[in-house]
Structure 1
């Protein structure tokens, strides 16, 4: 399954990328985020890996993030692997004529085991989650709103 989403953030690209690339900010825009722990390489460098943990209410999810390309402010791409789910994600940040930032995310998911059924019958759940993260990030950057405050 593959999909592309975009959102315009009403802040300059430099500010957007600074907030996006700071791991301390993840908790403010990714609901359920518990922690990120480096497991291989230097954080943020191509080839490095991190363990990410999320508490999604009824279940906890752990995944391994592997940085494929970190060419910020232009592009940040990584893979995310969890039980039964593989996600390759490309994030691009482009300045607009209005001095805002266009964030485009290109996601490709592959499923195995039980998650194949979930991916087949509920592809909208993944798109909806991606969109929610983008909207929460926009609110965090533009207005300082944190998902921790809700």
Structure 2
């Protein structure tokens, strides 16, 4: 399953990257986020791995992030591996003066029970969740009071 999304953030690219590139900010824009734990490699560099934990309803999920490219401010790519799903995420950030265009290319590969569930949930559900994260990041970055943060 593959899809692309994009959103325009009303901030210069350097400000967007400053907020995007800080794992401490994930709690402000990723609903269900519990924790981020660096596992291996130099933090924030290609090949580094981290454990991310989320809670949706009564279900907890853990995934391993591996950075595959970090050429900020232009791009940040990673893979996210969890039971039954492997996600390839490519993020591009385009400078548009006082705005930033964030383009996200997403690819999922499923196995086991997740393959069955993904078939019934459909691409629309995954796309909707990805877009929600992007919209929440936009609101957080632009200073929406709902996403109050110290950064």
Q: Same fold (TM over 0.5)?
A: yes
Shift of 1:124: 1.7
The residue number in structure 1 matching 2:87 is: 87
The residue number in structure 2 matching 1:52 is: 52
The residue number in structure 1 matching 2:141 is: 141
Aligned-partner Cα distance in 2 for 1:125–1:17: 27
The residue number in structure 1 matching 2:3 is: 3
The residue number in structure 1 matching 2:76 is: 76
Structure 1: 5+ residue stretches without partners: none
- For residues 56-94 of structure 1, the C-alpha deviation after alignment (integer angstroms, 9 at most, x for no partner) is 112000000000000000000000000000000000000
Aligned-partner Cα distance in 2 for 1:131–1:147: 20
What are the residue-to-residue correspondences of 1:1-150 with 2, within 5 Å? 1-96=1-96, 98-122=97-121, 123-144=123-144, 145-146=146-147
Aligned-partner Cα distance in 2 for 1:127–1:31: 15
- For residues 88-143 of structure 1, the C-alpha deviation after alignment (integer angstroms, 9 at most, x for no partner) is 000000012x5200000000000000000122121222111100000000000112
Aligned-partner Cα distance in 2 for 1:12–1:128: 26
Provide the secondary structure at the position in 2 that maps to 1:143.
Answer: coil
Count the aligned residue pairs. 147
TM-score, normalised with respect to structure 2: 0.94
- Structure 1 moving runs of 4+ over 2 Å: none
Aligned-partner Cα distance in 2 for 1:2–1:55: 24
Aligned-partner Cα distance in 2 for 1:118–1:110: 12
Residues 9, 100 of structure 1: 8 Å contact kept:
yes
Aligned-partner Cα distance in 2 for 1:85–1:136: 23
